[in-house]
Structure 1
Amino acid sequence: MSPQRLPRLTLPVLGILTEPHHERDGDAFGPLTTFIRDVVEAARMVGRPAYVFSSRDVLRQRTMVWGWSRTNGRWSRDFFPVPRIVYSQLTRPTRQDLEILRWLREHEGSLCVNHPDLDAIVLDLWRLLHIAMSHPTVSRDIPEPVLLKANQSLEQLLSDGRTYVVRPRFRGHGQPAICLMESPQGELSLVTHRDAPDGTQVFHSSVALRAHLEQRYGEVILQPFEEPLRYHRHPILVRSIWQRNGLRQWQESAAVARIGSAGAMAGQFTTVSELDRFQPILQELLGRRLHSTLYQVKTLGGAIARLLHERSHGAGELAVDCWLTATGGVRLYDVTTAGGGLAVRQLRQPTAKQRMIETMLAYVRSLEDVLPAATALEVQSVGGSQVLQG
């Protein structure tokens, strides 16, 4: 069917960049589907046109985007003008994603809630850690990282008898962080769970271990392991979500408690509640150290947000993960750009998610001040296009 004219839209249009859609009912954009849906609908409530797209949906020769919008509770596909403001919700940005973001900024004059350089930084854990360690305060909260190089001896590295966390350098090259230990017999082990029958892999030589790491993870980073604070054997992590508000000032919009599986040495975490609701448990575990620990978490998160804003030429939203140690310490674990949406979508109460979306939209409104005057643009829609529920 030939394209049909739609009503004229007034710019600026907000575009939400995500991974390629799955085209399944209720799961159009993977685990972030419900969060992205709420962003689009909240934007509409304040009179802002918004749509969702992936990097492969950008038609550069036509200067248009084949995106997704919400109509009567459904997702449907339309042609849209290129977004004047981009809100990236990429969980694992690719080179193509970063190329499209830079094209939108440099060729079309689009503004980004997060500069493409920020996505490039968080994609590379080695680069992220070195930037963080340049801050005199933050550096104290980062276990010294080592990038395992081809000519580096694992035996020499492990000669101090310590346990190390092994993590892929590049996001997406393997999920769980794992631990490396050397036994008195000289065996090297990769451990994910202390007690699980399949939680340990044993290697009889460093050559075999190195080959395994390279095949599974590519480049890897090792950091000294510190026993985490545990609740009923579950390791605890705190994720704080930092955003710039309508005044372009940084604020902590939400903080959530996340736990790993029982007996896990490291690995994946699941959001269990807002941090305020989790405080009675932390009080039980930390006692008098509770308030100083929470203050340290907030201070570390704010310092990371401001530092990455400076180094990436512009940041507006990020999530900072802090590892709580058994001795009451706080260690920087990770930084992500889409971690906020991933965390708040798991909460039973919508308060944190609503606050996060409202703060983002207020910041988007502040970005309009530096855009050229809004103009009207005709957009087209393909009649009879695919429609998804959800």
Structure 2
Amino acid sequence: MSRRELYSYRWDGTKWAIVTKSSYSELEFRSSVNIATNVENTVPKVNEPIRISTFNILADCFPWFVEMAIRSVERYEWLCNGIINLNPTIIGLNEVTSTALQRLQECSFIRENYFITETYDENNNDNTSQMKNFPNTKLLFPHVCVILSKLPLIEVFALSVSGRKREAIVGKVQLGSTIETCVYICAHHATPYQTVKNAQLRAQQIRDIIDILEPLNHPFIIMGDLNLYYEFEDAIVIDNKLIDAWAQTHFSSKYPFNDKNIGYTFDSLKNTLIPYYIPGACNQMRLDRILFSDGFPAFAITPCIIWANEPIKSDNYLFPSDHFGLSIDFVLDKTDNNKQSEITMMSLSKPDPSAEEILRHNAQNSNDQRPNRLGLIRRTIALTSHVTWLGAVALGLK
């Protein structure tokens, strides 16, 4: 478990340039004297909502027959428009490949509004040279986590975690007008696959991240495709005294945070891309999470939402990804009337009793610890149907 310092980048009008400490100080100065920069905002206005989002975009580095089904060119075209429409303050993306990163870098909205934790020199295909000029780029193989932030990234670093070559990416941002409002945002893509061994590994990975972030003495958010397949993996939230954004704003007993919507982000019954990508899949799981540290000084304005959950075209199976994204709007706990805030909003600083009870019940549900495997007959039928469909697509019949 180690920490590796990285850079952040912003568009300077001609290229994505490294943001140094001196250039960050310049941004602070410009903000204080109200001089416009190429970034829309450097610090949110008082009581201005902050939107935190996450999304596993589904990588495009799979064999050709998988690419035939997932159609990454169309999905990545949607991705830029999806971010524009969502307009998050900060978004963490999982499974970002060099192709996806280039599309993001070329988007004028992203250039004008966001700092980014990763860049790729499309004019230079020499890996060694790229790593010399852009140290972050060695993260790109085959895909990585990337953070886009409208707020300047004061620090950026990568964290190694147990049993995972892919690092978690952390950015420090200032949410309010004082340095005391700094928080750490961590984008993490946990070990996949539904086995008890991997569940234990995922729990350790979250603990690894917390062990690095807690001593820094600022609140933090861990978000991304955490691959929490089993209900009992909600123990990660309980054991680490975290606040699960979805559970907190849907499993409460207080309106409007009490609709008890389960919030599946991997939903093979609704997401028609999944059966084409994973033949025979029938799972509904809350794989993706936004987790706040205990005492995070904020109130959710509205319940956490699922986004990227509609087909790209209404008459086609293609969705933006095999995952849906999550997003939540909150304001800092800086109001003069916190009692009023507690009535109309949901605190993110401590677990809601009703939500915590449901998560605790899930954490104790250790009955089903079997790997998720299709039966032989179902697998055979699914694969036969899928191969037939691929053949029809290859022949132009579909």
More RCO (CA 8 Å, sep 6+): 1
Decide which structure has greater strand share: 1
Larger Rg: 1
Query: Shared topology, TM-score over 0.5?
Result: no
